[in-house]
Amino acid sequence: MSEHDRGGVYSVPGKAFTRDERYITDRITADGSGEGEWPVAAGRYRLVAARACPWANRTIIVRRLLGLEDAISLGTPGPVHDADSWTFDLDPGGADPVLGIPRIKDAYLARFGDYQRGITVPAIVDIASGEVVTNDFAQITLDFSTQWGAHHREGAPDLYPEHLRGELDELMRYIYTEVNNGVYRCGFAGSQQAYDEAFARLFSALDRLEDRLTGQRYLVGDTITEADVRLFTTLVRFDPVYHGHFKCNRAKLIEFAALWGYARDLFQTPGFGDTVDFAQIKAHYYEVHRDLNPSGIVPAGPELLGWLTEHGREALGGRPFGDGTAPPPVRAGEVAPTSI
């Protein structure tokens, strides 16, 4: 698998992990009038998001919480991509049923004939032209909240409240650098020193978040926000993948009282756990990362039933959806193939 298809420089002997952050920064905005902007239009775009990928999982969660299913369709590549790209091997005939392509790379090449950056998910594709619009995962979900409001479901929560954006932006940057990307710095460290430094940074951040969440139900304010979505997708992969595969093994998630309760609380909230496929998550990391796991053997554990146990976080107060409501059940055709 090429460096570009993994979305970053992972293992460089003697060096720390550095992620390739050169994304396509075009945006889909309400009027599409600015440079590099495309207009919001229901039915025009398709979100391509593999359930195995934490960055893509974010977009599936936010799309579901906001009720954008009718406005933006969803394509889900399989968890084990080939040397070229994420592939639609789970779909009949091995091609996305809307885009008609066997791999997401084709959408990148349709727009950029010699694309030299990461072939990553999530990606949003313009259906008519078959061209990729953006793969800027951090901006995609913010734009779902701020630009697609005309297509939000009735009762959609405010995941990016304007009066909290300063605090949210600062915290989300911290979560990205220290936790979301921190596990990768451990897993793909190119030297013992790089690993030791990454390990210390990661668990320092987890300890800090443990303290923060001991006395409050959610990260910012008393409702679920974008920050919770971003932390959740790393936490839900921690014990099945990052603890062993990425050597993040000072402690398991289940050994953090607050973080484990918080993660279960979110998992049991409609829109979170119902987007997660643990089998795909494990298949992706253990089968694709042959530099870390040459045999490709996928471990049988860990036990997952704990995700469904009582968490007691309601005692901290908070209203998951604020003045809004929970999303309806997952639509037919979008149910995660495997679940607990």
* Whether residues 243 and 141 fall in one domain: no
Identify the pLDDT of residue 74: 98
Residue 158 lies in a domain: no
Phi, psi of 157 (to 5 degrees): -75, 160
**Residue that finishes a domain, picked among 118, 151, 184:** 151
**Residue that finishes a domain, picked among 129, 151, 173:** 151
Identify the pLDDT of residue 338: 86
* Whether residues 114 and 231 fall in one domain: no
* Whether residues 95 and 207 fall in one domain: no
Q: Which range (94-98, 192-196, 237-241, 335-339) has the least confidence? A: 335-339
Structure tokens at 70: 């009718």
Q: What is the pTM of this model?
A: 0.96
* Whether residues 40 and 169 fall in one domain: no
Q: Is the pLDDT of residue 162 over 80?
A: yes
Q: Which residues are annotated as a binding site?
A: 86
* Whether residues 210 and 303 fall in one domain: yes
Q: Which residues are annotated as a binding site for glutathione?
A: 86
Residue 3 lies in a domain: no
Residue 15 lies in a domain: no
Written as one letter, the residue type at 205 is A
Residue 78 lies in a domain: yes
Nearest residue to 283 via CA among 293, 272, 268: 293
Q: Which of 81-90, 110-119, 305-314 has maximum average pLDDT?
A: 305-314
Residue 132 lies in a domain: yes
pLDDT grade, residue 12 (50/70/90)?
A: low
Q: 271-293: buried (b, 16+ CB within 10 Å) or exposed (e) per residue?
A: bbbbbbbbbbbbbbbbbbbeeeb
* Whether residues 292 and 171 fall in one domain: yes
Residue 337 lies in a domain: no
Q: 90-102: buried (b, 16+ CB within 10 Å) or exposed (e) per residue?
A: bbeeebbeebebb
Give the number of domains in the chain: 2
CA 17, CA 184: separation in Å to the nearest integer? 7
38-71 residue pLDDT tens: 999 999 999 999 999 999 999 999 999 999 999 9
Q: Which range (80-84, 142-146, 192-196, 268-272) has the least confidence? A: 80-84
Q: What is the CATH number of the domain that holds 81?
A: 3.40.30.10
Question: Which active-site residues does the annotation give?
Answer: 53, 184
176 CB contacts (<8 Å, ≥6 apart)? Answer: 138, 230
Neighbouring CB atoms inside 10 A of 250's CB total: 13
* Whether residues 177 and 277 fall in one domain: yes
Element containing residue 247 per DSSP (H, E): none
Residue 289 lies in domain: 163-316
* Whether residues 106 and 174 fall in one domain: no
Are 144 and 63 in contact, with CB atoms under 8 Å apart?
yes
Residue 284 lies in a domain: yes
* Whether residues 48 and 73 fall in one domain: yes
Q: What is the CATH number of the domain that holds 193?
A: 1.20.1050.10
β-bridge partners, 103: 87
* Whether residues 124 and 206 fall in one domain: no
* Whether residues 167 and 252 fall in one domain: yes
* Whether residues 189 and 72 fall in one domain: no
**Residue that finishes a domain, picked among 104, 120, 151:** 151
Q: Which range (12-16, 100-104, 179-183) has the least confidence? A: 12-16
Q: Is the pLDDT of residue 220 over 50?
A: yes
Residue 328 lies in a domain: no
